[in-house]
């Protein structure tokens, strides 16, 4: 037996599991298709990038976002499961926020999509709390020693979103152009947004 036949791909295993659950009446294929379509087209980091770009270009929106993240995010049409209570914190020259969920992988799905594998990794979840500066450096983000790092622990009650600093030299860019610069990692706080 070849290695590929011993270990079928994740896609084949997923398809087989879905078929089995459907045959037993435990899953409605139409509901599954709707969830898949939602996460493929309506949920993801692009939504969060739109929130951040709006906050960078609209000072009143930025104030609303920092005061009540959930409501301000909903203004742009992004809401749903795992987004019932989102708190937004702002990175500044003096403070850098980074998000983790130490218990599992609570994450603001409507604005960031599904969490990346490193976010769910037990090593990240444990180490970023104990040695955030070292973990961020390992991920490519070197912060000056005078920048205070605050680790925000997401939970089922509160999910955190980082409002990264707007990079210098982007003052003339449109909101749409800014959206293209914002990454998921910057909204989790493990990276900064780079100028084009």
CATH of domain 45-188: 3.90.330.10
Q: How confident is the model at residue 124 (pLDDT cuts 50, 70, 90)?
A: very high
Percent of the chain residues past pLDDT 90, beyond the cut: 69
Q: Where are the domains of the chain?
A: 3-41, 45-188
Q: Would you call 104 a catalytic residue per the annotation?
A: yes
Residue 79 has pLDDT above 50, yes or no: yes
The Cα-based distances of 47 to 37, 52, 65, 75, 145 in angstroms read 15, 9, 14, 12, 32
Residue 12 has pLDDT above 90, yes or no: no
Residue of 2, 4, 9, 105 marked catalytic: 105
Instruction: Enter the DSSP assignment of 78.
Output: -
Residue of 4, 106, 155, 194 marked catalytic: 106
pLDDT of residue 28: 87
Q: What are phi and psi of 100, to 5 degrees?
A: -150, 160
Least confident range of 4-18, 89-103, 157-171: 4-18
Average pLDDT, the chain: 90
Quickly list H helices, the chain: 3-6, 10-23, 29-41, 45-57, 59-67, 69-75, 109-112, 117-120, 122-130, 132-138, 175-179, 184-188
Tens digits of residue pLDDT in 93-119 = 999 999 999 988 899 989 998 888 999
pTM as predicted: 0.80
Q: Would you call 2 a catalytic residue per the annotation?
A: no
pLDDT of residue 143: 98
Residue of 2, 4, 9, 104 marked catalytic: 104
């Amino acid at each position: 037996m070849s290695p590929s036949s011993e270990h079928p791909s994740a896609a084949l295993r997923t398809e087989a599991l879905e078929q089995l659950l459907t045959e037993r009446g435990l899953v409605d294929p139409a509901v599954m298709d709707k969830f898949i379509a939602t996460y493929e087209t309506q949920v993801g980091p692009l939504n969060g990038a739109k929130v951040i770009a709006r906050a960078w270009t609209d000072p009143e929106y930025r104030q609303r976002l920092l005061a009540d993240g959930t409501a301000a995010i909903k203004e742009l049409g992004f809401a749903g499961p795992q987004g019932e209570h989102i708190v937004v914190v702002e990175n500044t020259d003096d403070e850098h926020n980074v998000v983790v969920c130490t218990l599992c992988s609570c994450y603001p799905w409507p604005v960031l999509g599904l969490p990346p594998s490193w976010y769910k990794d037990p090593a990240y979840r444990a180490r970023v709390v104990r040695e955030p500066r070292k973990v961020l450096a390992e991920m490519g983000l070197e912060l000056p020693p005078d920048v205070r790092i605050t680790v925000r622990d997401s939970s089922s009650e509160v999910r955190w979103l980082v409002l990264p600093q707007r990079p210098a030299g982007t003052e003339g860019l449109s909101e749409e152009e800014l959206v293209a610069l914002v990454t998921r990692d910057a909204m989790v706080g493990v990276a900064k947004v780079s100028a084009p």
